[in-house]
């Protein structure tokens, strides 16, 4: 039986962004808001083999991850300039806390792949450069969809590639991946085929920015060993988790918005119900066991 998942393409001045000093009153207000958020979110962990899905605030939930246990952090944090996102934007202070947490939990052989919006790419780059080694910026290129007012038409998104040390894991079999990945825009409302790069994403917008399955799968296969763990602290619709199931990698995904988490959970569970060749799991060994 044909591989039933996607037609993935294999191609793939220092600025001070320090946080403005805030008053004790403002700091207490932020702490109170954080505690209210913590009380509202409920943690739901689904353990199926080595897939762990958590509904909650990533900045809190990452505290429960063992130090130097993650092989690859592959994520797409909330963009500053995208209006329809349901997830609250991160402050510079929260971004810095996120980077510090990444430094604690990532193995010395680990890597970071981060999709970034144009308004916050340089902030993330400067913060990550304090803890990690910058290797390359990659580009995801897609056809234009609209013409902005008094600005250039966007046709790409930046992807930052950082490593913890020079001894990072690299799968030589995938060494021909290029820095540019051409793809369609994520379809909303209808799709030409469910066997394309956006297999399984919601037909409604859902408040996420889905990424191509082919590109994500290439990152997983290249930068994480077969017995390694991939973390996506801003899981969204679950594409990274789907890629880990298909590529036989362990996965931890965190998503704070409950309805988005529920969709990702169903999507990943659905993918796990068949193996790579469309054979029911009871007939073959589970891909993630």
Q: Counting every residue, how long is the chain?
A: 289
pLDDT above 80 for 113 = yes
CA distance 262 to 281: 22
CA distance 174 to 172: 5
User: Does pTM top 0.85 for this prediction?
Assistant: no
What pLDDT, on a 0 to 100 scale, did the predictor assign at position 71?
Answer: 98
CB 167 within 8 A of CB 108: yes
Name the 3-class secondary structure at 237: coil
pLDDT above 50 for 46 = no
Question: Mind listing the domains of the chain with CATH numbers?
Answer: 44-283 (3.40.50.150)
Which range scores top for mean pLDDT: 30-34, 92-96, 266-270? 92-96
What pLDDT, on a 0 to 100 scale, did the predictor assign at position 91?
Answer: 85
Of 249 and 117, the one with more pLDDT: 249
Looking at the DSSP bridge assignments, the partners of residue 182 are 141
Name the 3-class secondary structure at 8: coil
């Amino acid at each position: 039986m044909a591989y039933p998942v996607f037609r993935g393409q294999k191609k793939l001045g220092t600025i001070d962004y320090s946080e403005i000093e805030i008053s004790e009153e403002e700091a207490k207000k932020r702490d109170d808001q954080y505690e209210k958020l913590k009380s509202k979110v409920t943690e739901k962990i689904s353990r199926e083999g080595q897939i762990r899905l958590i509904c909650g605030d990533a900045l809190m939930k990452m505290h429960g991850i063992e130090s130097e246990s993650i092989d690859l952090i592959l994520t797409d944090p909330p963009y500053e300039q995208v209006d329809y996102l349901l997830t609250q934007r991160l402050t510079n202070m929260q971004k810095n806390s996120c980077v510090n947490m990444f430094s604690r939990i990532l193995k010395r052989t680990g890597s970071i792949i981060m999709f970034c919006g144009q308004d916050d790419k340089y902030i993330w780059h400067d913060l990550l450069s304090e803890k990690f080694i910058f290797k390359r910026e990659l580009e995801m290129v897609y056809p234009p969809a609209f013409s902005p007012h008094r600005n250039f038409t966007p046709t790409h998104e930046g992807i930052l590639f950082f490593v913890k040390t020079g001894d990072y894991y690299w799968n030589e079999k995938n060494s021909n991946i290029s820095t540019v990945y051409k793809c369609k825009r994520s379809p909303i409302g209808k799709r030409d085929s469910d066997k394309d790069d956006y297999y399984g994403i919601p037909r409604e917008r859902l408040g996420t920015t889905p990424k191509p399955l082919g590109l994500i799968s290439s990152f997983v296969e290249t930068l994480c060993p077969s017995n390694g763990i991939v973390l996506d602290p801003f899981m969204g619709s679950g594409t990274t988790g789907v890629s880990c199931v298909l590529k036989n990698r362990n996965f931890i995904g965190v998503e704070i918005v409950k309805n988005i988490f529920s969709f990702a959970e169903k999507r990943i569970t659905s993918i796990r119900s068949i193996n790579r060749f469309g054979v029911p799991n009871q007939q073959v060994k589970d891909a993630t066991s």
